[in-house]
Amino acid sequence: MAIAMTELLNLSAEEQKYILKRISKDIYTPIDIDGQVYYIPSAVNDLIERLFEKTVSLKTQLEDGLPNNTE
């Protein structure tokens, strides 16, 4: 199934080729924010996931009344 990248529609064929070539070389991950899909580098997505996991862990510790780990 193909995904239309509407942002490319107003660009010239050469600009579209350049952007698509750059995207294919880098590893991008789609992320959905309020129904809008953005493509971000996988390293950034990994960072977001690690921060989310840490936040959930800290929240759980606080809710359980355990001392906060100060790593």
Q: What is the pLDDT of residues 19-61, one digit of tens each?
A: 888 777 777 888 999 999 888 888 899 999 999 999 999 998 8
pTM for the model: 0.52
Q: To which residue do tokens 């990248």 refer?
A: 5
**Helix (H/G/I), strand (E/B), else coil: 68:** coil
Q: Return d(Cα 20, Cα 50) in angstroms, integer.
A: 28
Q: To which residue do tokens 């997505």 refer?
A: 45
Those residues with Cβ within 8 angstroms of residue 30's Cβ, 6 or more apart along the chain or in another chain: 37, 38, 39
* Banded model confidence at residue 1, pLDDT cuts 50, 70, 90: very low
Cβ proximity of 29 and 39 under 8 Å: yes
